[in-house]
């Protein structure tokens, strides 16, 4: 057994230090989201980003780039290798030199085809005691499930039949962190990723890590303790490394992963996608505002990761308690009419409830509850991302949102997996042709989002930890105020989330008369603070004094 490298000088992390600022923008992508016939996908991806996104995106989350057997990478066969179909560690290191690289630590489970699980069946080390087992007769009714498949999988081993715990699928067998050897394995893996240049560690499905059949087996105290331990290991190897927890769960439980600024540096703002989608298709921001007022400011050293779309879809569990059951069902039904699919989860009662909407975000914003196709799709889409860019936190764009990619029904039919609808693979030639078409939708989306990103990156008041207050200027306007830490810049962000023109008296915003106010987006100046602002459907203004 090899020993871990301990020869590197330890740099002490700075408590409550922010490792990010307003210039940080992350793109989320698979290693092969952009392909070319004559080079490895990781090389193609790197070349595309350097050519088209170098000045606006400085972080890349490459979804699992390891050998895998299912779930588009999240069923890892070998954590220490790069999938040969994507490239090799040299390609990963090259990207890490140019961008802040985020990698997945798929820590809850591994592939049933992994060496560890083959050793489990053969009763060999390492692996024979790496997995969670339970008796087939155990009462597991309290265990929270994100899937409808049976929790236990019967496996024939050299020691007879065993039943292993599979939270997500029978190809994804849950690892047993009661065994210290499993933790040591992952410490080695983390060390390798750090040496490869990984700066951000996404702890995949971390909420399910610790199992206790007498409980829900989600968000257990031992899981939070493991996050604290992983943070200690990682940040004492690299004081600038960042832990991000992926916990697609109700909002209050998600917030707990900040700990006391000693667990995750960053948590996914999982409630934002369903709530903002709901607001835009309803033309009513009341739920969105109520939620935002309940969100505690992230203390220094922690931040929210804001996103609207991902490789998975739009999770609905984070909307529970924020939207009613009827509102969630109505939203899910509308997304199905827009060509999307719904993934389900099983409740303790045996009832199935919507777990996730699977749809390309551009198609999700095709229309509203009142009108299925009103010609305002592009404006709704840009409005959604303008809001995301202005909110407290670090913005993350799913790569397909940058281009306005549509539902991929061919890929969906090929895989029969709902999530494939939003996992299109672009040929680089076709993508660059689409981005060069002066009359094309893809180019307009790309250029308008690039413009908004550029504006955001220059504003101190958009620092991920800058002050934020919710404003109340009517249910059709989602408005909030941001202020820089030195109080030098204020930005009043007003977004019309409806398909009806709205007017807002400047007097209602309480602008200070001695300052020079102007809209960062349009450049319009406001010299008479008794005037009224008129906002077209889905128009946004960022009124700044700097």
- Contact assessment for residue 196 and residue 92, using Cβ atoms and an 8 Å cutoff: yes
Q: Is 204 annotated as a binding residue?
A: yes
Question: What token pair was written down for 125?
Answer: 């080390």
Task: Give the separation between CA 8 and CA 216, rounded to whole angstroms.
Answer: 40
In the block, tokens 């595309």 appear at: 48
Query: Strands, DSSP E only, in 254-364?
Result: 266-268, 303-306, 314-315, 341-346, 352-358
Kindly give, in sequence order, each residue whose CB lies less than 8 Å from that of residue 218, ignoring residues fewer than 6 positions away: 143, 144, 207, 208, 249, 253
What Å distances lie between residue 315 and 214, 269, 327, 395, 419, CA to CA?
A: 27, 11, 14, 18, 12
Task: Give the separation between CA 398 and CA 445, rounded to whole angstroms.
Answer: 13
Helices (H), 24-88: 41-52
Q: Is 129 annotated as a binding residue?
A: no
- Cis preceding-peptide flag for 159 (omega within 30 of 0): no
Q: Residue 4: how many CA atoms within 13 Å on its side-chain side? A: 17
Q: Is 419 annotated as a binding residue?
A: yes
Q: Is 24 annotated as a binding residue?
A: no
Q: Is 287 annotated as a binding residue?
A: no
Answer positive or negative: Cα dihedral of 479, 482, 487, 488: negative
CA angle 373, 396, 533 (to 5 degrees): 55
Question: Within 10 A of 337 (CB to CB), how many other CB atoms are there?
Answer: 11
- Contact assessment for residue 211 and residue 169, using Cβ atoms and an 8 Å cutoff: no
Q: Which active-site residues does the annotation give?
A: 204
Query: What are residue 542's DSSP bridge partners?
Result: 493
Query: What are residue 471's DSSP bridge partners?
Result: 479
Q: Is 519 annotated as a binding residue?
A: no
- Contact assessment for residue 41 and residue 425, using Cβ atoms and an 8 Å cutoff: no
Helices (H), 200-301: 221-237, 251-255, 272-282, 286-294
Could you tell me if residue 143 is left (phi over 0), alpha (psi between -120 and 50 degrees) or otherwise beta? beta
Which residues are known binding-site members? 71, 109, 202-204, 311-312, 419
Which residues are known binding-site members for substrate? 71, 109, 202-204, 311-312, 419
């Amino acid at each position: 057994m090899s020993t871990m490298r301990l020869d590197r000088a330890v740099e002490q992390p700075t408590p409550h230090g922010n490792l990010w600022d307003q210039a940080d923008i992350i793109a989320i992508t698979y290693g092969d989201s952009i392909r070319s016939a004559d080079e490895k996908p990781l090389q193609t991806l790197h070349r595309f980003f350097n050519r088209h996104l170098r000045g606006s995106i400085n972080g890349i989350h490459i979804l699992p780039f390891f050998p895998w057997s299912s779930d588009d990478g999240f069923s890892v066969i070998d954590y220490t290798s790069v999938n040969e179909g994507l490239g090799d560690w040299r390609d990963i290191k090259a990207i890490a030199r140019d961008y802040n690289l985020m990698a997945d630590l798929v820590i809850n489970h591994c592939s049933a085809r992994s060496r560890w699980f083959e050793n489990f069946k053969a009763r060999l080390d390492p692996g024979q005691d790496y997995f969670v087992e339970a008796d087939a007769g155990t009462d597991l009714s309290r265990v929270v499930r994100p899937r409808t498949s049976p929790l236990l999988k019967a496996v024939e081993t050299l020691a007879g039949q065993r039943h292993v715990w599979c939270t997500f699928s029978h190809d994804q067998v849950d690892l047993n962190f009661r065994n210290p050897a499993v933790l040591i394995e992952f410490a080695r893996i983390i060390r390798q990723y750090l040496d490869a240049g990984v700066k951000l560690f996404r702890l995949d499905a971390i909420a399910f890590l610790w199992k206790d059949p007498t409980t829900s087996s989600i968000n257990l105290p031992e899981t939070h303790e493991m996050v604290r331990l992983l943070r200690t290991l990682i940040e004492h190897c690299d004081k600038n490394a960042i832990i991000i927890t992926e916990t697609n769960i109700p909002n209050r439980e998600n917030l707990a992963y900040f700990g006391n600024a000693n667990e995750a540096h960053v948590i996914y703002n999982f409630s934002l996608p369903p709530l903002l989608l709901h607001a835009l298709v309803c033309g009513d921001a009341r739920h969105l505002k109520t939620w935002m007022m309940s969100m505690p400011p992230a203390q220094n050293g922690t931040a929210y990761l804001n996103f609207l779309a991902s490789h998975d879809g739009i999770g609905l569990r984070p909307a529970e308690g924020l939207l009613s059951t009827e509102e969630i069902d109505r939203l899910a039904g509308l997304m199905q009419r827009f060509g999307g699919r719904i993934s389900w989860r099983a409740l303790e009662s045996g009832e199935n409830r919507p777990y996730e909407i699977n749809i390309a975000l551009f198609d999700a914003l095709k229309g509203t509850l009142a009108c299925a196709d009103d010609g305002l799709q592009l404006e709704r889409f840009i409005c959604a991302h303008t809001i995301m860019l202005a909110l407290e936190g670090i913005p993350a764009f799913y790569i397909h949102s940058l281009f306005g990619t549509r539902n991929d029904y061919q890929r969906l039919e090929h895989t029969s997996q709902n999530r494939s609808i939003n996992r299109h693979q672009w040929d680089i030639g076709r993508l660059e042709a689409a981005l060069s078409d002066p009359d094309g939708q893809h180019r307009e989306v790309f250029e308008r989002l690039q413009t908004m990103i550029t504006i955001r990156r220059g504003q101190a008041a958009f620092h991920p930890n800058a002050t934020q207050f919710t404003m109340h200027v009517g249910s059709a306007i989602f408005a909030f105020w941001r202020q820089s830490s030195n109080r030098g810049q204020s930005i009043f962000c007003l977004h019309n989330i409806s398909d009806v023109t709205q007017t807002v008296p400047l007097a209602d915003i309480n602008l200070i008369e001695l300052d020079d106010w102007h809209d960062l987006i349009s450049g319009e100046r406001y010299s008479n603070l008794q005037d009224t602002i008129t906002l077209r459907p889905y128009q946004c203004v960022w009124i700044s004094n700097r």
